[in-house]
Chains A and B, each alone.
Chain A
């Protein structure tokens, strides 16, 4: 299993601090073995206090050490750990920096700085520290993995590839580094090299979820959907007990893309066990339920998200959408209007608000809203269908026909477009054309075409269905 990406915005402050502290305590213990036996014992005691959350005692012990030896790197590092645990990140940073200034080869303190900068959302500073760690200790596997990950996450794909390839040239590298290399090649759409690295990372066994996940993505790009399912199914079984919510989340988005909603749901439920209040995961789980067609579960999750983040625009939009589908129009409108941020409202918001207006028998307002959606996205077939439908209700059959015929051209497989056109033709006494549209709907049904509705995935999680 790959380590989680450190660029997790949703992680809670408390959890982050917990991660840093545990890491620091382990590394510090290693470094103090260079000291005398008494000192070692004393620092082990302090580290134990920190581990057991007996901060006051640890701090008292450290204060007395630092009074005697104010520049002792190990003591500074441990004090930094305490400050980090207390959420006093700036003080922690100064202490870690003093530790490494006094001992340039003190990689434990440097790794603490790496994680501290990630907490402070300064990955570039983490990268610099990781490079220092690797200069001191080129075989530092964790630093190598982290550096590669961070370079990739920062979009420095070429630098990431170059770094890992150099590591490979120097000797065998960890499977996780190979997976990151595969990911980097995948990002550059160099599929063959990506595939090659994923396969090497697998070492002939289907046990590396990251590599299998990469192979699933390659298969999807190639349109080999059967393989995608096989790989994702395997990943799904490997991540049952995963401790990486970020990877679970990534997996769930990919699973949703190929219609594996149950697998996506399981992964997201696991993510939420690990981080129960992560808005990103709650939103995605709501979407997974939505995709499964369970509006009630989806509604519960979007409401939960909005309890945590009342101004989450995606949450508001999705709750509005769910309520719209449950025909609870007044509340749907409320949330949809809240989700529309001035100047940045996405076309879907106008479309959904238009649908609400339409259902509330206000077609004049609906038309204004649909027009806005179409203005923002001229190829928005659903908005054009709705526009045609409203014009039809207002008996403007010329405009209705224009919009509906455009919609059918934009999305010939959308039954709603054909149905509205059939309705229109029936009303303007063109029964043969109406029947032809109904026949098309029957054919589409036989093909299993989806009908109506638009699901908005979280930003960056994939193409929108229109």
Chain B
């Protein structure tokens, strides 16, 4: 009897799973990465609103070498700001050894306006990723020449929007295999439109709340396929809804194969534009339950993203708001209705203001986790609201099935630091099979965070090469199966805030050492199936052909 008990104990001890080593994000220092660029927010005593909103960043492979390069957006000359020294956006080429080289001038992508955001995509389908820069002032489209240089083609392409643009999202709204462009527009603003916002306590100006400014309609551009775009904002219905728009994400909320748009508005109801086909969108934010906070109070929506976090086959939405408004995780209840179920995210973000954010599988266990970048837009907020800070921490949430758990405390030392976070881009810059993070901070140096340990689980990376669908394969549905576990992911357009991401998809499979099958349902309707693909490496999948040899 005694021996039996001892044996049982030994078995129990042996069966107890080893404590899991958490996945962490390690800060890559400027000296290690050679990224020395810093954002200049142009902060002035007049506290002009555009100063506090930017800026974005991107992971992109501009030279098609299979390694993610980096782009940063900076402030620049405007009607209220003349830089003492020239300010530039920055393009950093990935040297494939953890370092980067500034190639901005050589590439000709310095910007030169008061920059906000960036969207990277191959709009002309020539196989080279192009850059669209949003600005306070006219936007810029840089066409990639395929030789390490770019040419500005904004006017020729017809995408030079006036006013104050924020997020740009490439997606194919009419499934004609060309990337169309949605450009969020913020408020009507110029230097004469900056009211005096102050109070008795401070006796100094602070950044005005956007509520004081007039909304402007966002823009939708149809890609004509000849290097030009047509502004279809009016006929599509987008222009019927002036907003104060920041983050935008293109996703398919009703699984009808047409990409819809979720757009965050600041101090106004958010927009959910359902794609009705034939080039028309219907705004259903109110009925869907994603427009307002409780009591019908519009909130300060900033960053957004979409993913099927609960694996029910329907795209859920996320929007980050300002402090005390809580961030919203909108679960898709089908029939175009969402319910806000933030779970543990709510108390963790109660005092924070969120911008860049992204659902992604940080630990390659197969389900989307969530990364949040925060920072209060008002640099004097600490004098005005107790406990709210100007600089705020990053947050990492792990998907636990139907909800999220705050794992920031165990995700690395960087999560105990404070930042003026704004943009956030996702990409595997070291090609090690787990997603790294790039953030851009307002008036500060950016952060490059290396994922440490995400690739302890197995994975496969897909580079989707469209032949009949839009070049970014936005709208493709990827389904992968390991044993009895089947997962699927929609390739969305945009998401986060002012930023653009690694176009490759990393599919996590946990501890499974074999992937039985992968199916890619392209927006064109074509389906490619891969059986027993290799694991722990990137593969190229060509539409209609399958695995590239």
The tally of residues in A whose CB lies under 8 Å from a CB in B reads 22
For chain B residues 266-291, which have a beta carbon within 8 Å of chain A?
A: 284, 286-287, 289
Q: Contact between B286 and A426 (Cβ–Cβ < 8 Å)?
A: yes
Q: Contact between A361 and B339 (Cβ–Cβ < 8 Å)?
A: yes
Closest-CB distance, B298 to chain A (whole angstroms): 10
Proximity string of chain A (285-297) to chain B, C-beta cutoff 8 Å, 1 when within and 0 when not: 0000000001010
Per the bound structure, the CA–CA distance linking A327 and B346 in Å amounts to 6
Residues from chain B with Cβ under 8 Å of A359 in the complex: 341
* A189 sits at the interface (CB 8 A): no
Q: Contact between A326 and B347 (Cβ–Cβ < 8 Å)?
A: yes
- For the complex, would chain B's binding face be called helix, strand, loop or mixed by DSSP majority? loop
Q: Contact between B326 and A327 (Cβ–Cβ < 8 Å)?
A: yes
* A393 sits at the interface (CB 8 A): yes
For chain B residues 295-329, which have a beta carbon within 8 Å of chain A?
A: 295-297, 326
Per the bound structure, the CA–CA distance linking A437 and B337 in Å amounts to 19
Closest-CB distance, B379 to chain A (whole angstroms): 22
Nearest B residue to A428, CB-CB: B287
For chain A residues 420-458, which have a beta carbon within 8 Å of chain B?
A: 422-423, 426-427, 434, 437-438, 441, 451-452
* A415 sits at the interface (CB 8 A): yes
* B549 sits at the interface (CB 8 A): no
Residues from chain B with Cβ under 8 Å of A423 in the complex: 286-287, 289
Known: A296-B387, A415-B295, A451-B297. A427 touches B337 (CB 8 A): yes
* A464 sits at the interface (CB 8 A): no
Known: A327-B342, A393-B339, A427-B337. A419 touches B292 (CB 8 A): yes
* B350 sits at the interface (CB 8 A): yes
Q: Contact between A434 and B296 (Cβ–Cβ < 8 Å)?
A: no
Residues from chain A with Cβ under 8 Å of B45 in the complex: none
* A328 sits at the interface (CB 8 A): yes
Closest-CB distance, B402 to chain A (whole angstroms): 9
Q: Contact between A434 and B286 (Cβ–Cβ < 8 Å)?
A: yes
* A303 sits at the interface (CB 8 A): no
For chain B residues 408-446, which have a beta carbon within 8 Å of chain A?
A: none
* B294 sits at the interface (CB 8 A): yes
Per the bound structure, the CA–CA distance linking A385 and B336 in Å amounts to 22
Closest-CB distance, B79 to chain A (whole angstroms): 32
Q: Contact between B286 and A451 (Cβ–Cβ < 8 Å)?
A: no
Residues from chain B with Cβ under 8 Å of A28 in the complex: none
Nearest A residue to B349, CB-CB: A327
Closest-CB distance, A385 to chain B (whole angstroms): 9
Per the bound structure, the CA–CA distance linking A438 and B297 in Å amounts to 10
Known: A326-B350, A426-B286. A416 touches B294 (CB 8 A): yes
Q: Contact between B286 and A328 (Cβ–Cβ < 8 Å)?
A: no
- For the complex, would chain A's binding face be called helix, strand, loop or mixed by DSSP majority? helix
Per the bound structure, the CA–CA distance linking A122 and B207 in Å amounts to 62
Known: A296-B387, A416-B296, A434-B286. A327 touches B350 (CB 8 A): yes
Other-chain contact of A452, B286, B295, B337, B387 (Cβ < 8 Å): B295
Per the bound structure, the CA–CA distance linking A93 and B458 in Å amounts to 82
* A418 sits at the interface (CB 8 A): yes
Q: Contact between B296 and A422 (Cβ–Cβ < 8 Å)?
A: yes
Residues from chain B with Cβ under 8 Å of A427 in the complex: 287, 337
Per the bound structure, the CA–CA distance linking A200 and B339 in Å amounts to 62
* B86 sits at the interface (CB 8 A): no
Per the bound structure, the CA–CA distance linking A327 and B386 in Å amounts to 19
Residues from chain A with Cβ under 8 Å of B297 in the complex: 415, 419, 451
Other-chain contact of A419, B287, B295, B342, B347 (Cβ < 8 Å): B295
Per the bound structure, the CA–CA distance linking A361 and B343 in Å amounts to 10
Residues from chain B with Cβ under 8 Å of A451 in the complex: 294-297
For chain A residues 392-419, which have a beta carbon within 8 Å of chain B?
A: 393, 415-416, 418-419
Residues from chain A with Cβ under 8 Å of B292 in the complex: 419
Residues from chain B with Cβ under 8 Å of A296 in the complex: 387
Residues from chain A with Cβ under 8 Å of B339 in the complex: 361, 393
Known: A327-B342, A427-B287. A438 touches B296 (CB 8 A): yes
Per the bound structure, the CA–CA distance linking A393 and B338 in Å amounts to 9
Residues from chain B with Cβ under 8 Å of A438 in the complex: 286, 296
Residues from chain A with Cβ under 8 Å of B342 in the complex: 327
Q: Contact between A418 and B337 (Cβ–Cβ < 8 Å)?
A: no
Per the bound structure, the CA–CA distance linking A441 and B291 in Å amounts to 14
Q: Contact between B294 and A452 (Cβ–Cβ < 8 Å)?
A: yes
Seed contacts A326-B346, A422-B296; 20 additional CB < 8 Å A-B pairs:
A294-B386, A326-B347, A327-B326, A327-B350, A393-B339, A416-B294, A416-B296, A418-B296, A419-B292, A423-B286, A423-B287, A426-B286, A427-B337, A437-B296, A438-B286, A438-B296, A451-B295, A451-B296, A451-B297, A452-B294
5 closest Cβ pairs, A-B complex? A419-B296, A327-B346, A426-B287, A451-B295, A416-B295
Task: Provide 28 A-B residue pairs closer than 8 Å at the C-beta atoms, listed in order of the A residue.
Answer: A296-B387, A326-B346, A326-B350, A327-B347, A327-B350, A328-B347, A361-B341, A393-B333, A415-B295, A415-B297, A416-B294, A416-B295, A416-B296, A418-B296, A419-B294, A422-B286, A423-B286, A423-B287, A423-B289, A426-B284, A426-B286, A426-B287, A427-B337, A434-B287, A438-B286, A441-B295, A441-B296, A451-B296
| B residues adjacent to A (C-beta < 8 A) | 284, 286-287, 289, 292, 294-297, 326, 333, 337, 339, 341-342, 346-347, 350, 386-387
